[in-house]
Structures are given as C-alpha cells and as structure tokens.
Chain A
C-alpha cells in the first residue's frame, strides 16, 4: 500500500486541498461565473444574486441536513415528504391558534424530528437498507398526508407570516429593498449549525467515524442507535425548518409541490463531494454543490434557454460530475497497486 503521508504538515495540507473535491468545484464555479458575467449583464447584479439566494434557500437548508445523513453512511430521500407534513401541520395549527414564528418553527421541527425517528428505527433496529426505507417512508408520509388532507392548499396565511422578516434592510438606487430575509438568514444559519455540529462537537466527529468504519465504531463502544437517531432526527428537524421557509417564500402551503425535489438536493450534496458510502463530505463542499446547481440553472434562464430544458442540464451535470469523480478515484487507486 503506497504511503502518501507527507513529512511537512503545512505543505501536506495545501497539497491535500489542491487534490480535494472542493478545489475543483471552486474552479468550475469560477469558470461558470466568469462565463455567465460575460454572456449576460443580468447575472452579476444585486437583484439576481439576492433572488438566487432566496429561491435556493429551501434546497440549501435541506442540503445541510442531508449532508449529515450521508456522512453517517446512510441515504434518505423521504425528507421532502417530511417537509410537506411538517409544513401543513405546523401552519394549520399555527393559523388556528394564532401562533408566532417561534411556535411555527418549533412545531414543524418537532414533526420533522418524529419522522426522522421513524426512519432511524427502521434502519437501525430492523436493519433494512436505508434507500429502501426512505423510498418506503417517502410514500407512507406523503400518501397519508394527501389522503387525510385531500391535497388542500392553505392560501390565507397570517399577515406577519406573509411579510416575513428583513434584517439590515437597505434600498438600492431604484428603491428596491434588500436585506437578510428569512430565507437567507436560515440558509446561513443552517449551514453554520451543520458546520458546528460536524466539526466542533464530539457527536459530529462520531458521525464521521461511524460513516468511515461502522464495525470499528461498534467495537469501540459507539452508541450506533443514538447516532442514527440524531442524524435522521437532525435531517427531519431541518426539513421542518426548511418547509416553513419555503411556505413563506411561496406565500402558500401546497402539500403536493415539495415531493419530487429530493433528488435535486441529493444531487447537490453528492456534487459537493459527499460519498454514498459515508464518512466523506464537508459543509463547504455542500455549499459549493448547491451553488453550482443554482448558478447553472439561473444561468440557463438568463441566457435564454427555455426552462423546459432545465432538468436535462441538471441531469447532465450530475452524470458528468459523478463520472469524473469515480474515474479519478479509480485512477488514484490504480496508480498504487494492481
């Protein structure tokens, strides 16, 4: 087995970054941004960037949660169903009892955690593969939601909710207000919390360890069930939060509109370098992955490509990205041994 460790720590760290996934993503994004700012005037404007952040907040917040699950070595695609359930219940209850921001987020988060718990139990205690569990729970949560609610919309949302929040408000030349709205605040917040969890807490490092070598983790006395509960619960909570954010942006609750977006989130996180095998992935990478897909889709629209082609471009990007990652991984391994 070739020994790739380096005696000099600083140059080793730099070399590691240059070889890393994040570096290449940054490069591609750089190229994309440059190309777009040359191709069109409307890309690099405050308006556009503000809209970009706001409209991708939902995906971004979810990505910060899914990242944690992937690092632990599992996969989950039921979180959009969880979000739908959380959104509907939280706002129904919230409107009925006249609740405020905190209560709304608390209820949505709690429902999300509950759904996540269900996933964790099936994956750990029943030992079913996580992709099958999540395909099943997606349908269970979503099916039951639409069955019991009849797919009704909620359009009469309270005024405070529709107004949202805007911090550090400022107006540009034409009097259009900008600032940190609910979406951007929670987008930044969720990535920050994910980073703190993964890099500054013991349990976060345990998540990496579990994803890296499950057997060793068990032998060393890690509480695997507790970690799984935390991980799925966290994604569930994040899904609940994201669902409120999305309802505020859309100014309505449509139970049928969120399911179907889970693959976009998965694509973004995988693009960002998280591996389906677990143990690999960073918050920075996930941010870049979300950014890449967001800029790509935004760019297509600005350049004049019909939005009907959007999905094809996303699919192509995913395919190219996972292919190059896998191929370079193969080459790296082949260089060492037969």
Chain B
C-alpha cells in the first residue's frame, strides 16, 4: 500500500518526509521553529530560492541545465540598481514612478538578451547546455565585476524595497510573487502545447523534431523563460537586501538543483512537476531554518546539501530499478 502511495509521484512522498522532519525539529526546537515569527522569516527567505529553482527547473525538464541563472540575476539586479540609484528623483511624482518602471524594464531587457544568447547557442548552434551556460555565466559575472569593480550598489526607493520586505495581509509580498509565478508556470507546463513539447524534447529531442515540432524555437523559449524568471528573482533579492552585487547568492546554485531533484525532476529531462518542486523547497527551507536556529555553520549546511543530493538521487535510481515510476 505504501508503494502505491509513493507511486503517486514526488508530492505525496515529500509531504510524508516533510511531516517527519518538521516533527523531529519541533521536538528539538519547539516554538522557535514552529512559531509565527519563524514561519514568517521562512516565508521571506523562500521566494528568492524558489524563483531561481523554477528558472533551473524549466531547463532541467528540457534535458538541459542553466548554470548562469545566478550570474544573470546579479547582472540584471545591477542594471536595475544602477537606474534606480542614478535616475530616480527624490521627490515622489510621475517621474519617480516612471523611472522605477524603466529600471525594471532595463533588468528585463538584460535578462532577455542573456536568455536569447543561451537559447541561440544551445538550440541553433548545438552547444551543450553545460558549456553554453558556463560561458554566459562567466560573461555575466565578468560584466558585473567589470562594471562595478566588485562594489555594491544600494539604496532603492520604497516601492522596490516593499517588494522584498513588505507584507500584504501578513503574507510577504515576495512569497506572493513566488506563488503567483508557480501557478502560471505549472499551467504552462501541464496544459499548454509549449509545455507538452518541453517534456517530449526532454526525453528525446530528435524524435520530437521528426514529429514536426520546432524544437529549436521551444528550446530558445525555455532559456528565455529561465532568464526572465531569474530577473524576477533578482528583483526580489535586491529588494530584500536593498542592494545589488556581482556575487550575491552564488551558493544558491547547488540548492536550486537539489530542490529540483528532490522535487522529482529527472536530471536527464522529461519529467517533473511544479508541485513537487514547491514541496521540496518548503522542506529545504524548514531544514535550513532549523540549521540556522541550531547554529549550524553555513559550511556544514552546504556539506549536508551535498549529501542530500547524493542521497536523494541514489534513492531515485534504486526506486526506478524497482519499477516505481517517478511520475
């Protein structure tokens, strides 16, 4: 009976694990982890990792990988930060609002360019996604460092800061943005022709191409989508820290892959759902906050993430050997 439950995919299995983990930590930490303030702080931290994980997930589904999401996010954040700190007038008014919008558009523009480069090089030139995104990652980071010399740009207008730190009816705005993204992405993946094509390409690009699907265009679209998600993450990140820098969030890369794999995404492509990803993110956030409260060094934490990835993928391989589907 247990097996049948597990066969329902990642979500039921993860909910079980989550329940168990929360129970353990509640016993260890009591109110510190289960109380309202702990929940709130988790709710603030989760969105930026979550949006970045969505960005990683869509490329994993297509059988690829996007190593450049963090570097892209930082570059976009710097672009937006530059406009915000040099053009937004102090006085509130039309120009004040207008320039903030332009700042965001600037960030989106940068994201589009990076996404198009990634997509073109991978889909139309046939470069392996690891190498292509390695190249764009280095270029983005290089551009960020070259332009800022490693300095931080900080001090943004209130509406921007509100996006990262404000709440609406007690729920952090950032979390609303994240959940607000999950729904259309899930719908896109499950119900749109584009989404169906992504899954097919993830399992076999050649066979999908021979069926008349314009795989190059779909792949281009995926990497552009990934970049656009990265710029939303950038906005949330810079809002929360009220600053932008060339090297923020680099430790997130590993965690986005962990969240995806834990959430049931097949690292080779073709399978995975947003629901599973969200469950995995919640689980990881709880563990991370608990580690924080237990005063774990952040280095011990990343080591544990590493062990978790190995463990989870190994379990996935064993389960597959026993014929338990990952869907």
Q: Is A in direct contact with B (CB under 8 Å) within the complex?
A: yes
Residues in A lying within 8 Å of B, measured CB to CB: 75, 122, 126-129, 131-133, 135-147, 263, 266-267, 270, 276-277, 306, 308-316, 318-319, 322-323, 325-327, 329-330
Chain B, residues 84-112, CB within 8 Å of chain A (1/0): the string is 00000000000000000000000000000
Contact for B257 among A122, A126, A132, A330, CB less than 8 A:
A132
Min CB gap B100→A, angstroms: 28
Docked-complex contact A309 and B309, CB < 8 angstroms: no
Residue contact A319 to B306, C-beta cutoff 8 Å: no
Whole-angstrom distance between the Cβ of A85 and the nearest chain B Cβ: 12
In the complex, what residues of B have CB within 8 A of residue A266's CB? 134
Contacts of A138 in B (CB 8 A): 254, 306
Chain B residues closer than 8 Å to A137, beta-carbon distance: 306, 310
Cβ-based interface call for B305 (8 A): yes
Given B65, B136, B310, which contacts A128 in the complex, CB threshold below 8 Å? Answer: B310
**B binding-site residues for A, Cβ under 8 Å:** 65, 117, 121, 125-128, 130-132, 134-143, 145-146, 149-150, 253-254, 257, 261, 267-268, 297, 299-307, 309-310, 313-314, 317
Verify A319–B125 contact, CB threshold 8 A: no
In the docked arrangement, what's the CA distance between A191 and B273, Å?
46
Nearest opposing residue in chain B for A305, CB measure: B146
- Which residues on the A side are within 8 Å of B306 (C-beta)? 135-140, 143
Report whether B132 and A322 are in contact in the complex, using a CB–CB cutoff of 8 Å: yes
User: B138 touching A139 by the CB < 8 A rule?
Assistant: no
Q: Are B268 and A129 in contact (CB under 8 A)?
A: yes
Interchain nearest-CB distance for B149 vs A (Å):
5
Given the known inter-chain contacts A131-B65, A138-B306, please indicate yes or no for A315 contacting B127, CB distance below 8 A: no
**Residues in A whose Cβ lies below 8 Å from that of B145:** 308-309, 311-312
Which residues in B have their C-beta under 8 angstroms from that of A267? 134, 138
B136 touching A127, Cβ below 8 Å: no
Supposing A140-B307, A311-B145 touch, asked if A270 and B137 sit within 8 A by C-beta, the answer is: no
9 additional contacts (CB under 8 A) given A122-B310, A322-B132, A322-B135:
A133-B310, A135-B306, A136-B309, A144-B300, A309-B146, A318-B134, A319-B121, A319-B135, A329-B126
Contact B314 A126 (CB under 8 A): yes
In the complex, 15 of the A-B residue pairs with CB atoms within 8 angstroms, ordered by the A residue number, are A122-B314, A126-B310, A128-B314, A133-B310, A135-B309, A136-B309, A138-B254, A263-B137, A276-B131, A311-B146, A315-B140, A318-B138, A323-B121, A323-B125, A326-B128
Pick from A276, A277, A310, A311 the residue with the most CB of B within 10 Å. A311
**Contact call B146/A306, Cβ cutoff below 8 A:** yes
User: How many whole Å from B9's CB to the nearest CB in chain A?
Assistant: 20
Q: Is the CB of B267 within 8 A of A129?
A: yes
A75 and B130 contacting across the interface, CB-CB below 8 Å: yes
Residues of A within 8 A of B149 (CB): 306, 308
Contacts A319-B121, A323-B121 given; indicate if A330 touches B126 (C-beta within 8 A).
yes
CB-CB nearest in chain B for A140? B306
Report the minimal beta-carbon distance from B52 to chain A, rounded to whole angstroms: 15
Task: Pick the residue among A131, A313, A326 that contacts B130 (CB under 8 A).
Answer: A131
Given A127-B317, A143-B303, A323-B127, residue A312 in contact with residue B309 (CB < 8 A) = no
**CA A147 – CA B303 in complex, angstroms?**
9
